[in-house]
Amino acid sequence: MKILIVDDSSTMRRIIINTLSRIGYADVVEGENGKSGLEKLGQGGVEMIITDWNMPEMDGLEFVKTVRGQNPAIPILMVTTNAAKEDIVEALQAGVNNYVVKPFTPETLKEKIESLLG
Amino acid sequence: MDQTEIDALLAGGGKSPRKPKAAVPAAPPVPAPQGEPHKDGSGHVISELDTVTAVTERESNKVMDQLDQISRLVSRQQELITGIMRHEGAQSPGVQKAIHEVMSAGKEIQDKVFEAMDLMQFQDITRQKLERIVHHLRQIHDYIVDLLGTGLKSDAERPSISHTIAQTGTTPDENKAHADAVIEAYKSQKKG
């Protein structure tokens, strides 16, 4: 399964990639903001998206809305520092399937991914 | 900036030191600060904060490189020990027990390395908190420009920021229960 990770922090992308490889998902592609995420998505083969919210050029919310306009079915997990209730609701309304607040444990990421794929 | 660079800078009376040729893996260059040029105080502070962010990200990646390296070395060690385990001369119960203990210690190291990698999330969280501070500084700067009717407003594009940093935790999964409850409530409301 190919997973697209969109986050402007290279450290965070490495942490997510590392966690994914430990739980059996080694096929990943990376984007550093919504714009490059859309480019990677356009190259095909992506079956799931993990995206941050706060990014330059195109933020995660705009990215999710754009993706949903093209692909209503692809599972999207938002992983962000935004913890306010209104943020979570806004993300869900935009089309996010599940939501993780940073910092997270590998167990949480695993649980959320499995619930999206299950 | 490491100690060699600081020492060289001090010795050179403030002139830029030469880069030390330390055997560290290649790290991504620090991007140019996005804040305003040093025209005034706020532009300078924003620029400094951008540099802090870029340097901590670069240094965090160096730590991640080292942790990756330790992880690879431990895996290699485990492979070698597995080979020894199968060796004809290592079949006595005492040797097998000792090998198992070494293997178990290796696994413990590996787990600690992964734990340390996960803890590096602090870098991104700190970065976003600084971004929030930059946002406030820019608002103050623009307000003063409006008030005085002189100067340039902030124009560099910034990442979007969270509504508040007050709720951003530092302990892993501090907000998990809260987020899960909001998701659950939203989904049941949608169903109903």
A16-70 pLDDT per residue, tens: 999 999 889 999 999 999 999 999 999 999 999 999 999 999 999 999 999 999 9
Check residue B138 and give its pLDDT: 84
Å between B13 CA and nearest CA of chain A:
35
Locate the chain B residue with the closest alpha carbon to A98. B183
Cα–Cα distance for residue pair A17/A32, rounded to 1 Å:
14
Q: How far is CA A72 from CA A31, A95, A112, B103, B190, in A?
A: 20, 8, 19, 47, 17
Helix (H, G, I), strand (E, B) or coil at B21: coil
Q: How far is CA B63 from CA B98, B119, B121, in A?
A: 32, 11, 12
Handedness of CA A11, B162, A25, A49 (dihedral sign): negative
Check residue B163 and give its pLDDT: 60
Nearest CB to A11; choose among B64, B172, B174:
B64
Å between A102 CA and nearest CA of chain B:
7
What are the residue ranges spanned by the domains of chain A?
Answer: 2-117
A62-91 pLDDT per residue, tens: 999 999 999 999 999 999 998 899 999 999
Please give the interface size between A and B, counted as residue pairs whose CB atoms are below 8 Å apart: 125
- Residue ranges of chain B whose pLDDT lies below 50: 6, 9, 13-24, 32-38
Q: What is the residue type of B22?
A: A
Check residue A52 and give its pLDDT: 96
Å between A19 CA and nearest CA of chain B:
8
Backbone angles phi, psi at A51, to 5 degrees: -130, 150
CATH 3.40.605.10 is right for the domain spanning A2-117: no
Task: Please answer yes or no on whether A12 and B124 come within 8 Å at the CB atom.
Answer: yes
**Do residues A52 and A79 make contact, with C-beta atoms less than 8 angstroms apart?**
yes
